[in-house]
Amino acid sequence: MKKEIGIFIGLFLFLSIGMHFEQWIDHPIEHLLNLQSGGAFGLPGIIHPFVFTLVLYIFVGIPRVLGKLFSRK
């Protein structure tokens, strides 16, 4: 469970820094405060990073689960 939470947090940080690198470097506190008024694809500002991370986590998780099912131990 700790490993899965670590993977989710790692994906979250990778996506947020990757997509908003300039904002994180120039003005990180202001970027966090503006999260409430922002948004993407009709999702509320505070929710959209978690939704996008969850979608990517599912895409990463499916091959991991299949690999564990079909691997020999």
What's the CA dihedral at 28, 33, 37, 39 to 10 degrees?
A: 40
pLDDT, one tens digit per residue, over 6-52 is: 999 999 999 988 988 888 889 888 888 877 777 777 777 788 888 89
Tokens of 28: 């990180």
Q: Which amino acid is at 65?
A: V
**Contact between 52 and 12 (Cβ < 8 Å):** no
60 vs 6: CA distance, rounded Å: 13
- Confirm if 31 and 68 have CB atoms less than 8 A apart: no
pLDDT of residue 73: 65
pLDDT grade, residue 53 (50/70/90)?
very high
User: What's the distance, CA 21 to chain centroid?
Assistant: 14
Task: Give pTM, 2 decimals.
Answer: 0.76
